[in-house]
Structure 1
Amino acid sequence: MGLFGNSNLLKNIGSIGLVNIVGSLISAFFWIYLAGLMGSEQYGLLAYYLSIAGIFTSVSLIGGPMVITVFTAKKIPLTSTICLISISTSILCSVILYFVLNNVGISVYVIGAIIYNLSVSELLGRKFYKTYSIYFILQKTLFVVFSLILYYVMGPSGVLVGTGLSFLLFTTRVYRSFRDARINFQLLKTKWSFIANNFVLDLSYVVNGQIDKLFIGPMFGFMTLGNYYLGIQVLNMLAIIPESIRKYTLPEDSSGANTKKIKVITVFFSGFLALIGIFIVPQIFPIIFPAYTESLDLIPIISISIIPTTISTMYISHFLAKEQSFYILITSIVSIITMVLGIFTLGSLFGIIGLAFSLVLSDVSRAIMLSMIHLYQKRALSKF
C-alpha cells in the first residue's frame, strides 16, 4: 500500500497540493509586493479593512464553508438552501457596511467572498479536485490583475474591489447549485443544530484570525499594524502546504477515509517550515523590505505558530467530519481570549514583540486543548 495507502490518495493530494501551492504563492507574493508598494501605514489600514470584511463575510456565511463541504461529501442536498440564505445575508451586510464606512471596496469584497467560499466548499465536498484547481488558479490570477489596476485607480480600496471582483468567477458554480437541487427548508431544520454550531464556530474562527488587527490598528497605530501584517503574510506563506492538505483531509474524513498518516507527516513538516521562518527568512527580509524594520523582530517569533496552527487544522478536520463542532468552538473562544489578553498585556509591555508572542500563545493554547479533547475521546472509547 505504501506510505500514503494508495495511489489515488497520493494523486489527489498532489493535485490539490500543487494547485494550492501555486495559487497561494501567487497571492502571497502579491500581498508581500503590496507591502513594499504601499508603505507600512497604508498597508496596515488595508489590513484593518480586510479584518472588518472578513468578519462580516463570516456573519453572512450561514454555517460556514465547512458545513457545505461536509454535507456535500455526505450527499446531503442542502447546498442551494445555504447558498440562498448566505448570499441574501451578504447583500444586506454589504449595504450596511457601505453606509457605515463609506467604502465600496469592503462591500464588494463581502459579496464576492461569500460566492467564493460557497463554491470552493461545494467543489471540495464533491471531490471535484481538477475543477477546483482550474477555478483556484484563475481566481488568483484575476485577483492580482484586478487589484493592481484598481489600486492605482482607487488606492487601498481598489485592492478590496479587485479581490471581490475576482471572486465572482465562481458565480457559475453557485448557479449550478441552485439548478441541481431545490431549496429545502425542512431538511435544513433537521440539520439546524449542526449548522448553528458551525456558524458560531466559523465566526469564532474568523474573529480569532482577525481580532488582533482590529485591536492593533487603533491601539498601536496603523504603521505598527502594517509591520505586523507583513509578518502574518510570511506565516501564511509557510502555511500554504498544511492548508492544502487540510482542503483534502476534510472531505476525505467526512466520507470515512483514513487520513492519519498524511496528517502526521504534515505536522512534522510544519516543524521544518518553522525553522525556515526562524533562521532563513530574517536573512532575506532586510534586503527586500528595508523600511519594515519592526517586522524583522517579530517574524522569527510568529513563524513558531505554524506548528500549533497545523496541529489544530488537522484536529479541526477530524472533529468537523464527525459533526463535533462544539469542541472546536470552545477552543476558538479560549484562543480569542488568550489573544486579546496578550495584546493588552504583552503588547502594551513589549510592543510589537509582545504582539507576536500573543499570537503564538493563542495558537498554542488552541492546539493543546484540541489534542487533549482528542486524547480524552480515545481513552473513553478504549474502555468500551
Structure 2
Amino acid sequence: MKISSSLKTLTYLTQASLVGSVASYALTIYLAGYLGTEKYGLYSYILAIAGFSTIIITYATDQTAPSLVSKGVSLQTIFNNVLSIRLLWFVLIMVILILWKWNEPVVLFGALIINLSSFNTSYYHEINRDNTKYAVIYLFERLLYVLIIVAVNLVSQVNIVTILLVYFFIVSLSLFVQFWRYRFYIRNYSISTPKNLWQGISSNLPLVIIAISTYAYGGLSRLIIEDKIGLSALGIFSSGMQLTVVATIFLAQIERVWRIPLFDSLEKRNGLLFYKTIKEWLIYSTLPISIGALFVYLFRGLIVDLLFGPEYEELKSLLPYISLFFITISLLSLVNNCWVGLNKYREFLIISVVFSLILLFVLYLLPSSITLNEYIIVILSVQVSLLAFSVVRIIRHLKILNV
C-alpha cells in the first residue's frame, strides 16, 4: 500500500470520525453534567454491561474477517459466517441478560438496544476497501443522534430511557442503510453449517477471551468500582475515561488502514514491509496520541472546569493518570494486531488472561476505603506490565521467523 494513499484514506476516516466524535463528546459531556454523577454512573453501568456482551456477540469477527480475505475465502462465505455467529451469540446473550437483569428493566433495555450495534458492517466495508463509505454512515449516525437528543431536550426533560430510545432509532436506521448497501449478500445469505459455525467459534475463541481480558481494564473494572464505592464514583471515573475514547476512535482508523499490510508482511515474512508498517503506525498513531495525552495532563484543570463542572472536581486529580491510558491504548492496539498476524492466539490468550485475572483479583481484594486514584494506578500498572511482557515475546517470535 502506498503511503500517500494510506494517508489520504486515514485523513478522510479520521476527519469523519472526529466530526462525529466531537458532536458525541459535546453531548456526553453535557449529559454527564445534566444527569449528575449518580445517574451518569448508572448510564456508565449500562454501557459496561453492554460493552461486555457486545464483545461476545461480535466474537472477534471484525478482526478475523480481513485475515480470511488474505487466505482467499470468498466475500459471501465471510458474510454468512460472520452474521451467523453474531446472530447465535445475540440470542444466547439476550436470554442470559433477561434471566440476570429481569428486575432491572432500564439496564436490560439499555443492554438490548446497545447490543444491536453489534450487527454493523464495518468489517465488510474494510475487506471491500470501502472504509470511507462506512465513515460517512458513522458520521451521519452520530450527528443525527446528537441532533435528536438536543431537539428532545428543548421540548422535554431528557432521562436515560429517552437517550436509549433515541439510540435505538438511530442504530436501526444505520443498520438498515448498511444492509441495504450490501443487499446482494443479504439476498444470498444462508445460515452457516454447524461445521462452519463451530470452526469459526473455536478459531476465534482465543481472540474473544483476549478481548474480554482487555475489557477487564476499562469495562469489568468499572463494575467493581460501582460495587466497591458506588455509582457516583463510577460516574466520575467514566467521565474521565471518556476522554480516551478519542484515542480509541483514531486507532480504529489506523487499524483499518494498516492492519492488512501488517498481516500481509507477517504472512509473507517480509521484514522490510513489516518494519515499515510498524514505523508508520508509531509515527501516525502513537506520536499524535502521546501529544494528546500531554495536552490533557497540562490543561487538566481547565478541561474539568470547562467540560464537566464543579461536581466533577475530583476528576482533576485523576487526569494525570488517565492521560497515560492514551499511550498504553495505542501500543496495545499495535501489539494485539501483531499477535493476530503471527497467529500466536494461544500464547496471547494465556498472557492476556493471566494479567487480567491478576488485575481483577487485586481490584476485588482492595478495600472500599481506597481512592479512585489508587484504582487507576493499579489498572495502569497491570496494563504496562502486560505490554512489556508481550513486546518481549513478540520480538522473540520475530527473530525465530527471521522477520
The TM-score range, normalised by the shorter chain, is 0.7 to 0.9
Q: Is 1:336 aligned with 2:336?
A: no
Alignment CA distance shift 1:188-1:324 (3 Å): farther
User: Which one is further off, 69-78 or 204-213?
Assistant: 69-78
User: Which one is further off, 311-320 or 284-293?
Assistant: 284-293
Where structure 1 has 5 or more consecutive residues not aligned to the other structure, the ranges are none
User: Which one is further off, 30-39 or 145-154?
Assistant: 145-154
Match for residue 260 of structure 1 among 274, 278, 287: 278
Cα shift at 1:198: 2.4
Q: Which residue type is aligned with residue 263 of structure 1?
A: W
Deviations 1:266-321 (A, max 9, x none): 22333222211211233332243221011111011111121122111011122223
Q: Which residue of 1 aligns with 2:39?
A: 42
Cα shift at 1:85: 3.1
Contact residue 16 and residue 244 of structure 1 kept, 8 A = yes
Q: Which residue type is aligned with residue 58 of structure 1?
A: I
Q: Which residue of 1 aligns with 2:311?
A: 291
* Paired residue secondary structure (2:311): coil
* Paired residue secondary structure (1:127): coil
Match for residue 344 of structure 2 among 324, 328, 333: 324
* Paired residue secondary structure (1:51): helix
Alignment CA distance shift 1:350-1:208 (3 Å): closer
Cα shift at 1:196: 2.5
Within 5 Å, which residues of 2 pair with 1:160-179? Answer: 160-168=164-172, 169-174=174-179, 176=183, 177-179=185-187
Q: Which residue type is aligned with residue 281 of structure 2?
A: K
User: Which one is further off, 87-96 or 282-291?
Assistant: 87-96
Q: Which residue of 2 aligns with 1:22?
A: 19
**Aligned-pair identity (%):** 19
Q: Which residue type is aligned with residue 291 of structure 2?
A: F
Q: Which residue of 1 aligns with 2:270?
A: none
Q: Which residue type is aligned with residue 225 of structure 2?
A: I
Q: Is 1:159 aligned with 2:163?
A: yes
Please give the alpha-carbon distance, in whole angstroms, between the structure 2 residues aligned to 1:231 and 1:210: 13
Where structure 2 has 5 or more consecutive residues not aligned to the other structure, the ranges are 266-272
Alignment CA distance shift 1:362-1:34 (3 Å): farther
Contact residue 53 and residue 110 of structure 1 kept, 8 A = yes
Cα shift at 1:263: 1.4
Please give the alpha-carbon distance, in whole angstroms, between the structure 2 residues aligned to 1:181 and 1:332: 35
Contact residue 23 and residue 136 of structure 1 kept, 8 A = yes
Q: Is 1:371 aligned with 2:391?
A: yes
Cα shift at 1:66: 1.5
Contact residue 112 and residue 165 of structure 1 kept, 8 A = no
Please give the alpha-carbon distance, in whole angstroms, between the structure 1 residues aligned to 2:207 and 2:367: 31
* Paired residue secondary structure (1:12): helix
* Paired residue secondary structure (2:299): helix
User: Which one is further off, 26-35 or 331-340?
Assistant: 331-340
Please give the alpha-carbon distance, in whole angstroms, between the structure 1 residues aligned to 2:364 and 2:200: 39
Match for residue 54 of structure 1 among 51, 54, 65: 51
Please give the alpha-carbon distance, in whole angstroms, between the structure 2 residues aligned to 1:173 and 1:244: 18
* Paired residue secondary structure (2:310): coil
Match for residue 67 of structure 1 among 64, 67, 87: 64
Structure-2-length-normalised TM-score: 0.83
Deviations 1:197-253 (A, max 9, x none): 223333333344311111111210111111101110122234443343123222343
Please give the alpha-carbon distance, in whole angstroms, between the structure 2 residues aligned to 1:210 and 1:275: 24
* Paired residue secondary structure (1:39): helix
Please give the alpha-carbon distance, in whole angstroms, between the structure 2 residues aligned to 1:242 and 1:173: 22
Q: Which residue of 2 aligns with 1:135?
A: 137
Contact residue 119 and residue 175 of structure 2 kept, 8 A = yes
* Paired residue secondary structure (2:401): helix
Please give the alpha-carbon distance, in whole angstroms, between the structure 2 residues aligned to 1:75 and 1:33: 47
Alignment CA distance shift 1:54-1:291 (3 Å): same
Please give the alpha-carbon distance, in whole angstroms, between the structure 1 residues aligned to 2:93 and 2:374: 34
Cα shift at 1:342: 4.6
Alignment CA distance shift 1:262-1:23 (3 Å): farther
Please give the alpha-carbon distance, in whole angstroms, between the structure 1 residues aligned to 2:327 and 2:119: 31
Structure-1-length-normalised TM-score: 0.87
User: Which one is further off, 317-326 or 359-368?
Assistant: 317-326
Q: Which residue of 1 aligns with 2:328?
A: 308
Q: Which residue type is aligned with residue 160 of structure 1?
A: L
Please give the alpha-carbon distance, in whole angstroms, between the structure 1 residues aligned to 2:204 and 2:299: 43
RMSD (Å), alpha carbons: 2.9
Please give the alpha-carbon distance, in whole angstroms, between the structure 1 residues aligned to 2:98 and 2:110: 7
Q: Which residue of 2 aligns with 1:352?
A: 372
Contact residue 74 and residue 254 of structure 1 kept, 8 A = no
Please give the alpha-carbon distance, in whole angstroms, between the structure 2 residues aligned to 1:82 and 1:376: 33
Contact residue 347 and residue 353 of structure 1 kept, 8 A = no
Q: Which residue of 1 aligns with 2:268?
A: none
Q: Which residue of 2 aligns with 1:125?
A: 127
